[in-house]
Structure 1
């Protein structure tokens, strides 16, 4: 690891309150890390700073999260998931960006102004499909992650409209995608909002409410840890948390020893532990966050831990097909729901919870890299110590 990066637990990246942008008498250029070929390394290029359109904003990026799956996306994605389009190369990646508003378009009203601290939700929608016209933009047929990958055939057009990710000094985004950040949230913490928001939206889709019980499968991972701290923030009475690393499970248990029940995978059936801990009823909600290589038997075991009428939400990448008996779905009225992202409104909820002190963002240990160290950062995120480590590029 380079001597210029390190771990910090509290505090944020220092930033000028009002960022400067090259004026008309200077070349409007910025540095950006771009991928030029599939499987290649990122290179630092000088590119144009975007011209802001009427309903868009320009954000000076202060921190950008490094997604644990990024190496797979830029190396294996075309062969593994050809139906999920990537941007044409060279491209600026960087899914989770936070920074300061530098310019606002002429039609951006008083809710957003220059100097605001924001997280940029990267979810882009076409605006005209049936889902978008119903106000359900997250289900747009061409929904696309700016700086990452898309979900439909129209993704490339959205990439061309917004070809900027967090691995550049500036990015342009729709004003409607911004989540305003209070001073209590550092830019490094906000760069984790993608994973936090995914977990929060999953809990909301399960209609999780205070006093309920929840099982987080894969709780020590990046997505799983977010689900744990959000369940606690939302008033869970008990959080059953599975994982394979016993040291990380102990660290997780220490966050709230009264409400968190750690379960070491491979020692005893998860469903048995849950049933014993809920007087035989089972949990109200299951959030499935396991990775691609997890055995499918683990998923089925956790699904059996649901109570009658319980809801399971899948946000995992388990690669094998899940063999579920349809009988419990009908007679026990269990549900299995898919979810993969969150709305800016849900991002605002999380910012408010963190500012109020109910959502504990101090659990993250930020491993910080400069833009020039982007390739080192991608290697570091693959060697991270579970979900507690937050690898971030700072500008």
Structure 2
């Protein structure tokens, strides 16, 4: 067990390379997990290109689940053989952010197997930057969660994305029986939000996506909840400049939706959804859209709108997901639509980024 297979990112490369590398050695407070499933994330190559991976070469993959193989001398040996997921968010654990369920805002914030976002020394990230696209992953024991018996390794690997959806829903506040618009509704975050909507008391959904066919499939995730769909491909060729999405949302919801959860990674769709809000409505963005929003401050004042930007999820968010899954109230296995071998990582990332066929959540099985 001295070497393992891993997908590694190298400086200046826009692909991941399959290599044989040493198996990580667990320190006193570490756990070594034999990876059974690792999540695929569209952000991986984007963050690599943006220079967010501070230590190269590195093994990406911030979503991992498997079985505890070894533990350090300071870790309870009862963890050996347990089915677990790795919570990827590294932080100091002591600042005001960390003690108020906002670890992703900590100056030491970084993610195992992904980028560094904090402005501090990032000492934990230096040790734990290698992630789960490998046969083994090392993590500090305090970031290990046991997974319920009724949850597969595949779904456990994607608990983080479900946690991201929980974070976006929490940022929207008490929605009651509100009408909520979800953009990019046929993607990973969109489908996760759809699955969680009923658990947050949402009364009606308006699902926005590129394709009417893909939206029909996403709509079927919540057969007992009222949900309308808007396909961008049906809005006409000038919708991006003529405000076609705003108009269509207002046709369906004349008074405007109480909330918009925006996961669009680019384009004017987010701004147009924002302009559809009801008085007092909230816009939550988690899509990483680089486009500016040209909404006059006076307009937001008159509408009494709230704008919330958020990234990643917290331990509290993933605890919520694990609790719902353990209880059986949340049945989310069908969100895993694609499974790939580690040897096929290149094809998997291509499929994820191009989405020439519908893909909700994908995992790698080393």
1:60-93 superposed Cα distances (whole Å, 9 cap, x missing partner)? 111111212333333x323xxxxxx313221111
Superposed CA deviations along residues 324-365 of structure 1, whole A, max 9, x for unmatched, are: 222243343210001111112211211222333433313324
CA distance in 2, matches of 1:246, 1:171: 40
Does the alignment pair 1:229 with 2:195? Answer: yes
RMSD, aligned α-carbons: 2.6
Cα distance in 2 for partners of 1:108, 1:68 equals 34
Q: 1:86 aligns with which of 40, 44, 53?
A: 53
State the partner residue of 1:157.
123
Deviations 1:275-308 (A, max 9, x none): 4444x4322221010022x2x2x22221122222
The answer as to whether partners of 1:312 and 1:335 remain within 8 angstroms in 2 is: yes
Equivalent residue number for residue 124 of structure 1: 90
**CA separation of 1:386 and 1:212: change in aligned 2, threshold 3 A:** farther
Count of residues paired in the alignment:
357
Query: Runs of 5+ in structure 2 lacking a partner?
Result: none
Q: CA deviation at 1:109?
A: 5.5
1:7 — aligned with what?
Answer: none
Distance, in Å, in 2 between the alignment partners of 1:315 and 1:215 is 13
Structure 1, unpaired ranges of 5+:
1-21, 23-27, 79-84
CA 1:333–1:55: 2 relative to 1, 3 Å: farther
Structure 2-normalised TM-score?
0.87
Where does 1:259-270 land on structure 2 (aligned, <5 Å)?
Answer: 259-265=226-232, 267=235, 269-270=244-245
Question: What TM-score does the superposition give when structure 1 sets the normalisation length?
Answer: 0.81
Deviation readout 1:337-394 (Å, 9 max, x if unpaired): 0111111221121122233343331332432222222222222222335664433211
- Maintained 8 Å contact 1:188/1:366: no
Residues 251, 101 of structure 1: alpha-carbon distance in 2 compared, 3 angstrom cutoff = same
Aligned-partner Cα distance in 2 for 1:92–1:45: 10
Q: 1:104 aligns with which of 71, 74, 82?
A: 71
